[in-house]
Amino acid sequence: MQLPVMPPVSPMLAKAVPEIPQGEFLYEPKWDGFRSIVFRDGDEVEIGSRNERPMTRYFPELVEAVKANLPERCVIDGELVVVVGDRLEFEVLQQRIHPAVSRITMLSETTPARFVAFDLLALGDQDCTELPFAERRAMLDHALAGARPPVHLTPATRDRSLALEWFDQFEGAGLDGVVAKPLAGAYQPDKRVMFKIKHARTADCVVAGYRTYKGDEEAIGSLLLGLYTDDGALASVGVVGAFPAARRRELFAELQPLVTTFDDHPWAWAAPPEGVRTPRSSEFSRWNNGKDLSFTPLRPELVVEVRYEHMEGLRFRHTAQFNRWRPDREARSCTYAQLEEPVRYDLADILGL
């Protein structure tokens, strides 16, 4: 492979801002998938990840799609996504990363991925990274004019009012918000020169356990959060952490009166009710190389308000952020009914299918 921009390349990044900025920007939907840079030189294709590791072997169906849809020699930044029904499903995408070739082959057929392109780093013998983004985007539009699924060109607009509509509407299709890209900007690998605007909500959750901080058995590392289902089961929705160092030790002492055993705890060693995910449903995480996920159980009495972006099934998509304690709330009142559900939106309308 001989290209003007060679792998590995760290993708250009975005910093979070509270609202969609005004000015000389191009606005795009924020895709919820694996950030990837695709390198093609004839029949040679490499798919790089955000951490610069090759992803090619996990997505054989996209290698063929790249050869059929991308220019003969190019480097294109984008996102790998998996569509289930009419929305993106990140959890299904995660399952595509598997060591067994037989399973990779099976998943490439049952849950095929798509590549959504949104920036151009090289075309032919030209290194495009120093060009203004407005020029790179125009070149990308032309280069992918004939592309067909599973390769897509992301929608984009200079109309901030339309971007605001996208922010509200597209979440129902599983998208993550909006990205604002300066039209005059060069491509700067691993630099946060774009802006991302993501959804943020609050939820009142039950604190059902804790894990201690690494290297300190008398400091809180994270609190395990739960919400009650319609049938009265306490489902695990995620964790909240990122406490200041001094607060971690204070919180450990404050929680000791609530420490209990698993005998009467809703997340006992016994198998959880069918369809309810709990931390004890698997002692080890498949995504953390055997990391021990055991925890100290607490009587489910404390309620904490946390900030979250959006849900992935029954759980928070990312680690929640602490907002405040809610001594005025009864733990049993913390149900899924409080969560805001985005309006469903057909992903086909976004991708132009």
Give 201-247 pLDDT, tens digit per residue: 899 999 999 999 988 889 999 999 999 999 999 999 999 988 898 89
pLDDT in tens, 35-57: 999 999 999 999 998 877 889 99
**Confidence band for 34, pLDDT divided at 50, 70 and 90:** very high
Predicted local confidence at residue 284, as pLDDT: 36
- pLDDT value at 155 more than 80: yes
Spatial distance between the Cα atoms of 99 and 88, rounded to a whole number of angstroms: 23
Spatial distance between the Cα atoms of 143 and 129, rounded to a whole number of angstroms: 16
**260-280 average pLDDT score:** 63
The answer to whether 183 touches 134, Cβ cutoff 8 Å, is: yes
Instruction: Give the residue ranges of DSSP H helices in 77-224.
Output: 90-94, 101-110, 133-143, 160-169
Instruction: Tell me the CA distances in angstroms from 349 to 90, 155, 173, one per residue in order.
Output: 19, 10, 10
Q: How many CB atoms lie within 10 A of CB 8?
A: 14
Predicted local confidence at residue 207, as pLDDT: 96
**251-261 average pLDDT score:** 94
Active-site residue, from 15, 30, 198, 214 = 30
Predicted local confidence at residue 32, as pLDDT: 87
Radius of gyration of the chain (CA): 22
Predicted local confidence at residue 278, as pLDDT: 52
- pLDDT value at 292 more than 60: no
Antiparallel, parallel or unpaired: β 126-127 and 177-182: unpaired
Spatial distance between the Cα atoms of 348 and 173, rounded to a whole number of angstroms: 9
* φ and ψ of 96, to 5 deg: -70, -15
- Portion of the chain with pLDDT greater than 90, in percent: 67
- pLDDT value at 341 more than 60: yes
Predicted local confidence at residue 200, as pLDDT: 77
Q: How many CB atoms lie within 10 A of CB 221?
A: 18
pTM equals: 0.75
Predicted local confidence at residue 26, as pLDDT: 98
Closest CA to 214 of 254, 245, 235: 245
Closest CA to 241 of 225, 228, 226: 225
- Tokens at 286, concatenated: 């498949």
**133-140 average pLDDT score:** 98
Q: How many CB atoms lie within 10 A of CB 257?
A: 9
- Range among 175-179, 184-188, 214-218, 282-286 rated most confident: 184-188
Angle at 135 between CA 130 and CA 140, to 5 degrees: 105
Look up 198 and say whether it is catalytic: no
- pLDDT value at 197 more than 60: yes
- Portion of the chain with pLDDT greater than 70, in percent: 92
Q: How many CB atoms lie within 10 A of CB 162?
A: 12
Residue 223: in which H helix or E strand, if any?
A: strand 216-228
Give the chain's end-to-end CA distance (angstroms, integer).
Answer: 33
**26-39 average pLDDT score:** 95
- pLDDT value at 58 more than 50: yes
**Confidence band for 353, pLDDT divided at 50, 70 and 90:** low
**Confidence band for 287, pLDDT divided at 50, 70 and 90:** very low
- Tokens at 42, concatenated: 């004839």
